[in-house]
Structure 1
Amino acid sequence: MADEYFVLVCDEVPHDVVLTDPGVRVMDVVQVVRRLTGLSLWRSKVLAAQAPAVILAGVPQEDAAAAVSALRDVGARAEEREQPQPGFLEH
């Protein structure tokens, strides 16, 4: 019996949310990071202090855009990035 392999191609490319600079309102940014990630207050503060840091990984584009907007609303600099496509599709 021959093995068959299939590659599933999704229209939705996963995105990452990257906090590049927490700005001056660090505690407000920490609260937003906590709300977005579900991490504890302490872990959210550590993550914000390690900027640039990936806050969310592999989320849909709409969720990434909403998270970036929430971070920017409290004075942080953040961006969404498309995750790279897997290399096994290249020949």
Structure 2
Amino acid sequence: MADEYFLLVCDDVPHDVVLTDPGIRVLDVARAVRRLTGLSLWRSKVLATQLPAVILDSVPQEDAEAAVTVLREVGAQAEVRARPESGVLKS
């Protein structure tokens, strides 16, 4: 018997915000990460230097795009990655 797979379609697929390069202003990026995540400044700096780093996990697309904009404004390179595989169910 063949396995059947279904993809659940919802209003918003969860997205991750991934920091790929902090640029030359690492402290400014760490401050932005702190504002976005609520982590301590020390932990934010550690996160900003261990790349690639997932800054936000499973957030709506609008929030992810806003976070990427904040990170890019301080000189970092970041991207939004969709997570569609989480809604696949086996029948």
Partner of residue 49, structure 2: 49
- As a proportion of its length, which structure holds more strand? 2
Q: CA deviation at 1:88?
A: 4.4
Post-superposition, which runs of at least 4 consecutive aligned residues in structure 1 deviate over 6 A? none
Provide the rounded CA distance (Å) in 1 between the counterparts of 2:40 and 2:56. Answer: 15
Partner of residue 21, structure 2: 21
Q: CA deviation at 1:8?
A: 6.5
35 and 65 in structure 1: CA distance in 2 versus 1, 3 angstrom threshold:
same
CA contact (8 A) 2:17 2:55 kept: yes
Q: CA deviation at 1:38?
A: 0.1
5+ long unaligned stretches in structure 2: 1-6
Provide the rounded CA distance (Å) in 2 between the counterparts of 1:63 and 1:24. Answer: 25
Q: Which amino acid aligns with 1:66?
A: A
Q: Which has the higher contact order (CA 8 A, sep 6+)?
A: 2
88 and 69 in structure 1: CA distance in 2 versus 1, 3 angstrom threshold:
closer
Q: Which amino acid aligns with 2:26?
A: V
Q: Percent identity?
A: 72
Q: CA RMSD in A?
A: 1.9
Deviations along 1:27-69, one digit per CA (max 9) or x if unpaired, are 0000000000000011001000101100000000000000000
Partner of residue 3, structure 1: none
Provide the rounded CA distance (Å) in 2 between the counterparts of 1:20 and 1:30. Answer: 13
5+ long unaligned stretches in structure 1: 1-6
Q: Describe how 1:5-84 pairs up with structure 2 within 5 A.
A: 9-84=9-84
